Amino acid sequence: MPECQNCGSFVTEAYVRVFAPNGAQHPRVCPHCEDKLRDGAEVREARSRRH
């Protein structure tokens, strides 16, 4: 079962297929992460709390 490398939350295989780098089994960040977010192909620190 895929999980986020940052927060450990469960993510679907469809999410991994769309948002993780090619060949990766687990995404670097997910919508549940409060401290990081995707910015194009990169991952950056969140500027404010998202939840």
Q: What is the arithmetic mean of pLDDT over 31-51? A: 84
**Percent with pLDDT over 90 in the chain:** 47
Q: What is the arithmetic mean of pLDDT over 14-26? A: 91
Q: What is the pTM of this model?
A: 0.76
Half-sphere exposure of 27 (CA within 13 A, CB side): 27
Q: Is the pLDDT of residue 47 over 90?
A: no
- Do 45 and 34 contact (CB within 8 A), yes or no? no
